[in-house]
Amino acid sequence: MEFQDVVRRRRMVRNFEDRPVPDEALDLILENALHAPSAGFSQGWAFLVLQGDEKRHFHDVTYPGHDDLGVYRAPVLIVCLSHKDAYLDRYTEPDKGWTDRDESRWPAPYWDIDTGFAALLMLLTAVDNGLAGVFFGIAPDKIRVFHEEFGVPDPYHPIGAIALGYAATDTPSSSLKRGRRPQAEVVHRGRWQSR
Ligand SMILES: Cc1cc2nc3c(=O)[nH]c(=O)nc-3n(C[C@H](O)[C@H](O)[C@H](O)COP(=O)(O)O)c2cc1C
């Protein structure tokens, strides 16, 4: 598929066919995640892949009582985890040279940003392979139980999860009614506002 088609066809899909994701496609999706850029090449990310009973358990734990959701039909879940310490440690190495791990040095949480870049690469790779996905958040009050149930070490923070599969018909999200903001509104050239 042409790159432009991959970008323009990608949309968050919230209903899936009851059809497994081929292992080769899943492997490629995960491999491409590792090609995301990361500050200092820190690569402070991890991906927890859940299928079958483990996937059902994730839904039960993080959003109980909603097993009729179309998203739950996706055969694969990839929980995207960011690892802040990897960045704080990396930047104390000689070629970076910071002598402390002071978080105020960071203009934005690059650990979460880089994990988000990886998530987008996975979504685009899915589209390129005839699959679809949706990135969704995990409620703050469910983060602890998620860690406990899946044995995830504390320094790894789930920024969200991708449900992956073959798209089935779904109702477009109400958010789309907002419409895509045009370049004229969001792109500023030279200075914020022309005088
Ligand atoms: C960080 C992030 C969190 C999101 N969380 C959710 C979510 O929890 N549930 C959901 O249905 N969609 C979620 N979405 C999908 C957005 O609603 C969607 O990207 C937006 O409406 C634009 O639609 P499109 O991606 O299909 O173009 C999320 C997207 C992002 C980038």
Question: 159, 116 in Cβ contact below 8 A?
Answer: yes
The Cα–Cα gap between 49 and 30 comes to 9
The predicted model gives 143-165 an average pLDDT of 98
Checking if the pLDDT of 6 tops 70, the result is yes
Checking if the pLDDT of 194 tops 70, the result is no
pTM: 0.96
Task: Give the Å distance between the CA of 175 and the centre of ligand 1.
Answer: 8
Which of 11, 136, 159 maximizes ligand 1 atoms within 8 Å of its Cβ, making it the mutation to test the pocket? Answer: 136
**Closest ligand 1 atom number to CA of residue 13:** 26
Which of 71, 170, 173, 177 maximizes ligand 1 atoms within 8 Å of its Cβ, making it the mutation to test the pocket? Answer: 173
| Residue nearest atom 7 in ligand 1 by C-alpha distance | 136
Nearest to 123 by CA among 137, 111, 135: 135
The predicted model gives 58-72 an average pLDDT of 92
Domain for residue 194, yes or no? no
Task: Give the Å distance between the CA of 139 and the centre of ligand 1.
Answer: 14
The predicted model gives 118-127 an average pLDDT of 98
CB neighbours of residue 189 within 10 Å: 7
How many domains does the chain fold into? 1
CATH of the domain at 16: 3.40.109.10
The whole-angstrom distance between residue 17's C-alpha and the CA centroid of its chain comes to 21
Domain with 113, as residue range(s), is 3-186
Domain for residue 139, yes or no? yes
| Residue nearest atom 30 in ligand 1 by C-alpha distance | 135
Task: Give the Å distance between the CA of 126 and the centre of ligand 1.
Answer: 16
The Cα–Cα gap between 87 and 72 comes to 33
Domain for residue 64, yes or no? yes
pLDDT in tens, 163-193: 999 999 998 899 999 999 999 999 999 999 8
Task: Give the Å distance between the CA of 153 and the centre of ligand 1.
Answer: 26
Domain for residue 44, yes or no? yes
**Closest ligand 1 atom number to CA of residue 159:** 1
**Closest ligand 1 atom number to CA of residue 11:** 26
| Residue nearest atom 10 in ligand 1 by C-alpha distance | 136
What φ, ψ does residue 77 adopt, rounded to 5°? -125, 135
Task: Specify the 3-state DSSP secondary structure of 47.
Answer: strand
Domain for residue 192, yes or no? no
Residue list, ligand 1 pocket, CB within 6 Å: 11-12, 14, 134-137, 160, 173, 175-176
Task: Specify the 3-state DSSP secondary structure of 64.
Answer: coil
**Angle at the Cα of 134 (from 130 to 18), degrees rounded to 5?**
60
